[in-house]
Structure 1
Amino acid sequence: MRSRASVLHLDMDAFFASVEQRDKPSLRGKAVIVGGTSGRGVVSTASYEARAFGVHSAMPSAQARHLAPQAAFLSGRFEAYRESSRVVMGLLHEVSPLVEPLSLDEAFVDLESADIDTGDVAAVRRLAATLRHQVAGRTEGLTCSVGIGSSKFMAKVASEMAKPGRGHQDHVVLVEPGTEADVIAPLPVRAIPGVGPVAAARLDRLGMKKVADIRQASREELVRELGQAWGAGLADLALARDDRPVISSREAKSISVEDTFEHDLTDRAECERVVDRDAALVCARLQHSGRFARTVTLKAKMSDFSIWSRSVTMTGATDSAERVRRMARHLLGSLDLREGVR
């Protein structure tokens, strides 16, 4: 953790939905939901108008339709999202050479490498406000929330606090060094990086609902219950101790394609056709990136939501769609299709 608030986290507001509202004036001020439009689809992004009805990302599209039947449901235009993302990321690189994109709509920026005195809190706040103004100008009206803190963890917490509807009119929050532990104490355990639904449920069974609850447990107890690496890491993060650096580039470790079907698949020939198509798609992306791969993984979510997964590692690397197809079909042969693949 740094002695100064010098890590900035920028998060675009309802990014996909906001791009749609920008490009289609008839949607402005209305509930917009972007994601899978089929009965098996999942919400990627919901506009703030849609969130007022309880719709949120990762929610099944069918549930979203029930909550907000009057909303506009869109499948998404990813080239438009990528173009706006390129504009935002380019602007961040003008601020600092150290920018770590997390996705199309959010990134960390290391202000220690920027032309600014990070010890001047007022100057840091002005930079954040100027950055928001420039994002809106260059993207023709898209908005973002900005958080600044002494670590990546605290910067992300701050940007969440800066989101629309959280009471910060300028949508910029800076967590002063020395106040981190107090700021995160009342937050739910899922505010801690790496705590997803499964880990949160396990912590809940241990009586730990908020970050402050984790602090009441000893490091030994956390290690005993959660394992050495995760238990010790959680104990540190609950005290706001985070020394992760901002990494300016990330090399992709995997390339994948995923499908959700309108009806559960039980026909092997149909599954083979899906595997063949996805092998071609994933290898096209592999070839475009100029890389090769050695391991092929096939994963299936069954009708009861259980996950089946198998992998095979080849003796040599490849970008051949035919070779990947053969490997994937071989893996498919061990999948019992009687219960259906979702």
Structure 2
Amino acid sequence: MRSAPTILHLDMDAFFAAAEQAAKPSLRGKPVVVGGLGPRGVVSTASYEARRFGVHSAMPMAQARRLAPNAAYLVPRFALYRAISEQVMELLGRLSPLVEPLSLDEAFVDLEAGGSAHDTASAREAGERLRRDIRAVTGLTASVGLAGSKMLAKIGSEQAKPDGLVLMEPGTERELLAPMSVRTLPGVGPATGEHLRRAGMTTIADLAEAGEDELVRLLGKSHGASIFRMAVGHDDRPVVSEREAKSVSVEDTFDVDLHDRVRVRTEVNRIADRCVERLRASGHSGRTVVLKVRRYDFSTLTRSETLRGPTDDPGVVREAAGRLLEAVDTTGGVRLLGVGVTGLADYTQEDLFAQAAEAQAALPEPEPESESDPVGAMAAGSGPSADSRPPAPGPESVAEAVEGAPAERRFPSGHDVRHAEYGPGWVQGSGLRRVTVRFEEPTSEPGRVRTFWVDDPDLELSDPLPLVPGADVVPGADPVPGADPVPGPGRFPAPGTDQSSLPATRPKSRFASPSDSDADRSGGSGSGSGRL
């Protein structure tokens, strides 16, 4: 524990939702929910306006829609969030060389190491200056906690929300912690909290009074001792500038359970390729491949295979994941698939590039029903190569492909577009081959709504615009999210939408025809049904 509150914890306020509100003037002050919009999607972030209805992160999206039916529901735009996060982390780096990022919107900073603070007054000034700088650079608000330990600094930032600063003076820890719920402490989740409640402990003061021996008896030696130390305010963990990655993984939840074994294998291949992309982006290779399968009954199985050495070769990872899949019964249906790589290293063992071929040669020959039988080939573990296999029709497909017809363009709800005549805007909804766009910019007044055909050549997806004038333009916007399909007819009742803003006469043929029988049902404005 330090004698001065020189550990800072920063947490951006409702980050994803706040970024969307800053980018979309028509959504400011209104409930906004960001997350997966499919039947099995979950809430990533809810604005404070949406939280008043009971919506919170990790909630099933279907439940959120019941609680706040008139909120704007948007697909995440990670290119924008990453760009803002980089701006925030740069500001933190000016305070100290010791910055420990926890996520895109959260980090610890050791102010003492950077000479930014040495006592209470200088720590408070550094925290307030940081909040002012973040607002000036990004247009967003952040909450700051200052204390002599990481645990207390994080508790302080939570108490400061939204848009505040809480400083915990060293020496007052026990007094400040005493009335708080036991769930406030890191490591006390629902199960542990209920166990403690049954033992008569509901506040942190109860834990401190019970003593270490009693907590060890209830929770075990390691967990009980750790909880007791935190309850009396002890936390000596240092701020670490680089957190070593232990694993890299990717997983997808499907709107409809997968039953076709070939489709399941195809999805495993696709997810394995994405996992390797992340692995390479982190500058690592890995030795152990892990497959995760959640079945129709919510039972979750994991299987792993350790290779002879670390690799970042997609073929090797695909083949290993395919072999693991053969040991899993998927006949009842699969709702989630994941592929991960653990045992990370910063080098690759060269002879592993031939490992997939060697493993395949060791397998018994399959006995397909015919020369063209794909099931036998897949079951034997041989899948198509990364270069030759066609794109999977998985969760990123938007609609059933029509033979001989071009794929329909996708316009996810909330994403940026630009029209040759009307300029920049964002997608409020899409369905029945129509796209509803609100034309506005971060610095403009709330804009007008117009509806176009999905194949309008003048309408294109675009990069996000900077939230603050003069800021760098966001480089390389995310590709259209390939998570879930955008379904056919839907309603798009976004807050702030004024259908009267649609022009009485729509010029040319770029707009969806108002004479179509279901134009009113699908072409209206709103939050859309694009999915993550």
**Range of TM-score over shorter length:** over 0.9
1:188 to 181, 193, 198: 181
Q: For residues 106-121 of structure 1, what are the structure 2 equivalents within 5 Å?
A: 106-119=106-119, 121=120
Q: Distance in 1 between matches of 2:230 and 2:299?
A: 31
- Structure 1 residues 90 and 36: alpha-carbon distance in aligned structure 2, compared to 1, 3 A threshold: same
Partner of 2:286: 293
- Aligned partners of 2:6 and 2:117 also within 8 Å: no
Structure-2 change in CA distance of 1:172 and 1:39 (3 Å) = same
Deviation at 1:114, TM superposition (A): 2.6
Task: Give 5+ residue unaligned stretches, structure 2.
Answer: 336-532
Question: Aligned residue for 1:282?
Answer: 275
Q: In structure 1, what is the Cα distance between the partners aligned to 2:327 and 2:194?
A: 32
Distance 1:220 1:267, change over 3 A: farther
SS in 1 for 2:34: strand
Q: Specify the code of the residue in structure 1 equivalent to 2:90.
A: G
Higher strand share: 2
Superposition deviation, residue 339 in structure 1: 4.2
Within 5 A, what are the aligned runs for 1:317-328? 317-328=310-321
Mapped to 2, the partners of 1:272 and 1:5 lie a distance apart of: 53
Following superposition, the deviation at residue 209 of structure 1 comes to: 2.6
CA deviation after TM superposition for structure 1 residue 125, in Å: 1.4
Indicate conservation of the 8 Å contact 2:99/2:240, yes or no: yes
The counterpart of 2:328, out of the listed 325, 335, 342, is 335
Partner of residue 43, structure 1: 43
Residue 154 of structure 1: aligned partner: 152
TM-score calculated relative to the size of structure 2 = 0.61
Asked if the contact 2:82/2:104 (under 8 Å) is kept, the reply is: yes
Equivalent residue number for residue 74 of structure 1: 74
What is the Cα deviation at residue 79 of structure 1? 0.7
> Residues of 2 paired with 1:198 and 1:267: CA distance?
37
CA drift at 1:21:
0.8
Task: Tell me the C-alpha RMSD between the 2 structures.
Answer: 1.6
Determine whether 1:203 maps to 2:202: no
The letter for the 1-side match of 2:149 is S
Distance of 2:292 and 2:209 partners within structure 1: 39
Q: Deviations over 1:90-148 (max 9, x none)?
A: 000001111100000010010111334422x2232122111101000011x10000000
Residues 263, 20 of structure 1: alpha-carbon distance in 2 compared, 3 angstrom cutoff = same
Shift of 1:214: 1.9
Judge which range, 290-299 or 72-81, deviates more: 290-299
Change (3 A) 1:54 1:251: same
More helix as a share of residues: 1
Amino acid at match of 2:54: G
Alignment check: 8 A CA contact 2:39 2:61 kept: yes
The structural deviation recorded for 1:171 is: 0.6
Q: Secondary structure at the match of 2:146?
A: strand
User: Match of 2:32?
Assistant: 32
Q: Structure 1 pair 142/130, CA: closer, same or farther in 2 (3 Å)?
A: same
Match of 1:240 in 2: 233
Q: Does 1:3 align with 2:3?
A: yes
Percent of aligned pairs with the same residue? 56
TM-score (normalizing by structure 1): 0.93
Partner of 1:167: none
Q: Hey, what does 1:85 align to over in structure 2?
A: 85
Preserved CA contact (<8 Å) 2:276 2:312: yes
CA shift, 1:212, in A, is: 2.1
Tell me how many residue pairs correspond in the alignment: 335
Amino acid corresponding to residue 127 of structure 2 in structure 1: A
How far apart, CA to CA, are the structure 1 residues paired with 2:245 and 2:281?
13
CA shift digits 1:163-195 (9 cap, x unpaired): 02xxxxx61110111111121122222211122
- Secondary structure of the corresponding residue to residue 154 of structure 1: helix
| Distance in 2, Cα, partners of 1:205 & 1:340 | 39
Match of 1:163 in 2: 161
Moved more, 28-37 or 287-296: 287-296
Distance 2:216 2:302 in 1: 28
Deviation at residue 338 of structure 1 after TM alignment: 4.1
Q: Deviations for 1:239-265, whole angstroms, at most 9, x for unmatched residues?
A: 111000000111222111111110223
Give the aligned residue type for 1:308: L
